[in-house]
Structure 1
Amino acid sequence: MRQARLFVIGLGAVGLGLMRLLAKKRDAYAREFGIDVRVVGVADSRGVWVKNDLDPAEVLKVKQELGTVAEVGESGDALEIMEDVEFDVLVELTPTDIETGEPGLSHIMKAIELGRHVVTANKGPLAVAYGEIMEAAEEAGVVVRYEATAGGAMPVFNLVRETLKSVDIHSIEGVLNGTVNYILTRMEEEGISLKDAIAEAQSRGIAEADPSMDIEGWDTACKVVILANAILGLDCTIKDVDVTGIEDITPEAIRIAEERGYRIKLIGRADSDGELSVRPCLVPKSDPVAKVRGVMNIVRLETDVAGDIYVSGRGAGPLETASAVMSDVLSIAESVG
């Protein structure tokens, strides 16, 4: 039985989603894949809890009842204690900072320095320092995986890495933000304003209290950078993306587009020439990209010999994102043992 000992930093929505997933499916992973997934440490913004085999259900209970794992573990910084934790894979799930990548970037680089593998759903570090991270990982002989960074449960990177080895990909484009797609869908269906659609999304837990990262296009821009670097082999950061959000989209604009056979979608795009953009686009209703509704995402990969390949999946939700995180964890455990 192979073992995957996880140190999970970040117990927000995705981190708790991961705990729920492990509480439900850890035994199945052992039975079906021969991998004993153990949580040996968890950290939130106030403290760290380290134990040989933490029960994910107990972690959930502590967070719900006490608010922080510091109440049962110890106060302190995860970065400072990392050297003292015996783990195989760092699971980095702290909030995204697109300007500095911190604190996630320091967590990831420290784990690499210690010779540990990394799985992350945090877009910030990869958007500002993808090349630095991957170069350090290669030198250290460790694996960094990030399937959850570009579209929740949508398996883009693993598809390209494992299945599309025989083709060259010239461009990538699509709907990369489930929150924005939900908002635009509701504006189209109900004729409501952007403000009202955002409020509805917030009431349903789809949009954050401050949705500006999504609405202004920066979340999509992060994903464009990661896709461009990982799949197209570019060396770019978020500063290289031309970004326009949906702040100025009105119900009238959506109605006129609808009448003329189009839907307005926020499209992220990258091509092999280094052109990176995020902007609202008129997409013909017959196009598969126009047909994704609600929180669904879709990516179109333009290939040299296989035509266009589409990948679609839910782009928002803690369990959906956690499932992508676990896919990476299991992949690492299977490949490096």
Structure 2
Amino acid sequence: MNICLMGFGAVGQGVAKAISLKKKEIKENFGFDIKIVAVADSSGSAISQEGLNAELLLETKVNTGSVSNYPQFGNNDIKGMDVLDSADYDCLVEATPTNIENGEPAKSLTLKAFTDKKDVVTSNKGHLALFFSELINEANKNKVQFKFEASVGGAMPILNFVEETLPSSKPESIIGILNGTTNYILSRMTSEGSSYKNTLEESQQLGIAETDPTQDVEGIDAACKTVILANSLLGIDCAYNDVEVTGISKISSEAIELASKEGYFIKLIAEVSKNALKVSPRLVKKNSPYALEGTLNMATVKTDLADDVTVVGKGAGSLETASAILTDIINVFKK
């Protein structure tokens, strides 16, 4: 399978590393080769039908700042949509940064791939949160596969889990922790008694929180995931503006201490149901499934037959997110 990888930040680099680590195993277990024929970042691209070396791609990015400096096949003139016309690929792996304003460039890249009859695997949330129905309809119209497990919980299996492991049970609601950064911040504030400001700064120094943490701490990231879960698993036709969102930036150490004395933690909880699409800080019991620390994500799926089923996994991380993308690539081949 020839892969075109658009976006070579933390997630894109994780995909290259994951392919390098698992290429032989995938060949042995599933009977197909994964070949990276094109990679693009914001500065340019590297394209070769013979295949690009994953380790050399990573080395080039780290040492020079762009894959456009890849030996012999690098190019800083071919970028964006032009990359899709310059490579013969089977599956687009779309890993550009999330844009909640207009979903670009992910939306245009995805729609072009569909039009060209290519399958798409994405880790992006923006275009899904804004244009879910349009994207699904276009994929179906062009009879291609569109997979986005990595867009919701990093390494936490939720979409594939419900669709493939619980096909006999109808999901009725989902409640969970869908953002690792905020969970880390709230966990640290609880254990250390530190202020929101100091804990956020620590998170940024550790690379857990972004330089601009707005999407995480104001609940935007979790709201996007709420939309994706609502559409894909519960059949609720909705978009980002339909979600009621409150972040964690106004939570004080005093509020956390008071909750702790009463036997509760404060967590940023996403609720997905036909009656509510909501992201907000809530009290959870200390001995409940929601009492997770660090960057872990979790989701409890309430079903008609299997009752409550809870999944837990790392919600952030380059290689962790790449594991979900690689799973989707394997499932694209299997179908």
- 1:160 — aligned with what? 162
Aligned: 1:303 with 2:300: no
1:106-130: CA deviations, max 9, x gaps? Answer: 0001100100000000101100001
1:203: which partner in 2?
A: 205
Q: Check the 8 A contact 1:35/1:330 in 2, yes or no.
A: no
Specify the alignment match of 2:8 in structure 1. Answer: 11
**3-state SS of paired residue (1:49):** strand
Could you say which residue in structure 2 is the equivalent of 1:29?
A: 26
Aligned counterpart, 2:285: 284
Q: CA deviation at 1:267?
A: 0.4
TM superposition score normalised by structure 1: 0.96
The CA deviation string for residues 165-209 of structure 1, in whole angstroms up to 9 with x for no partner, is 111111111000000000000000000011111111111111111
Unaligned runs of 5+ in 1: none
RMSD: 0.9
Q: Is this contact kept in 2: 1:151–1:315, CA < 8 A?
A: yes
- 1:217-264 deviation digits (Å, cap 9, x = unpaired): 000000000000000011111000000000110111011101101110
Describe the superposition over 1:36-84 as per-residue Cα deviations: whole angstroms up to 9, x where unpaired.
0110100001112111211100100111122112234222323123123
Partner of 1:267: 269
Q: Work out which of the residue numbers 39, 57, 60 in structure 2 matches 1:59.
A: 57
> For residue 219 of structure 1, what is the aligned residue in structure 2?
221
| Aligned twin of 2:134 | 132
Question: For residue 329 of structure 1, what is the amino acid of its counterpart?
Answer: I
Return the alpha-carbon distance in structure 2 between the equivalents of residues 189 and 70 of structure 1.
45
The Cα of 1:8 is off from its aligned counterpart by 0.1
Give the aligned length.
330
- 1:313 CA displacement: 0.1
Following superposition, the deviation at residue 272 of structure 1 comes to 2.5
Deviation, structure 1 residue 286: 2.3
Shift of 1:296: 0.4
Alpha-carbon distance, 1:304 to partner: 1.2
CA distance in 2, matches of 1:119, 1:106: 14
TM-score, with structure 2 as normaliser = 0.97
- What is the CA deviation profile of residues 105-157 of structure 1, one whole-angstrom value per residue up to 9, with x for unaligned ones? 10001100100000000101100001000000001000000000111101101
Deviation at 1:19, TM superposition (A): 1.2
Aligned to 1:98: 100
**2:39 aligned to 39, 42, 53, which one?**
42
Shift of 1:284: 1.2
Contact 1:100–1:128 (8 Å) recurs in 2 = yes
State the distance in 2 between where 1:201 and 1:81 align. 35
1:108 aligns with 2:110: yes
1:16-47 residue CA offsets vs partner (Å, 9 max, x unmatched) = 11111122221111112212011010000111
CA contact 2:40–2:83 (8 Å) conserved in 1: no
* CA–CA distance in structure 2, aligned partners of residues 266 and 197 of structure 1: 16
SS in 2 for 1:227: helix
- Structure 2: distance between partners of 1:99 and 1:302: 32
Aligned counterparts of 1:35 and 1:85: Cα–Cα separation in 2: 19
Residue 36 of structure 1 aligns to a residue in which SS? coil
**Is 1:83–1:114's contact at 8 Å kept on the other side of the alignment?**
no
Determine what percentage of the aligned residue pairs are the same residue: 44
* Letter of the 1:277 counterpart: K
Partners in 1 of 2:182 and 2:164 — Cα distance?
Answer: 30
Contact 2:176 2:299 in 1 (8 A): yes
- Structure 2: which amino acid aligns with 1:27? K
| Contact 1:151 1:316 survives alignment (8 Å) | yes
Match of 1:221, SS state, is helix
- Output the CA distance in 1 between the equivalents of 2:56 and 2:297: 33
> 1:332 is matched with which residue?
332
1:256 paired to 2:258: yes
Distance in 2 (CA, whole Å) between partners of 1:78 and 1:102 is 11
CA distance in structure 2 between the partners assigned to 1:70 and 1:284 by the alignment: 51
- Unaligned residue ranges in structure 2 (runs of 5+): none
- Provide the rounded CA distance (Å) in 2 between the counterparts of 1:56 and 1:190: 41
1:235 matched residue in structure 2: 237
Q: Which amino acid aligns with 1:296?
A: L
Letter of the structure 1 residue corresponding to residue 284 of structure 2:
V
Q: Is 2:183–2:294's contact at 8 Å kept on the other side of the alignment?
A: yes
> Which amino acid counterpart does residue 121 of structure 1 have in structure 2?
S
Secondary structure (helix, strand or coil) at the match of 1:172 reads strand
User: C-alpha distance in 2, partners of 1:173/1:98?
Assistant: 22
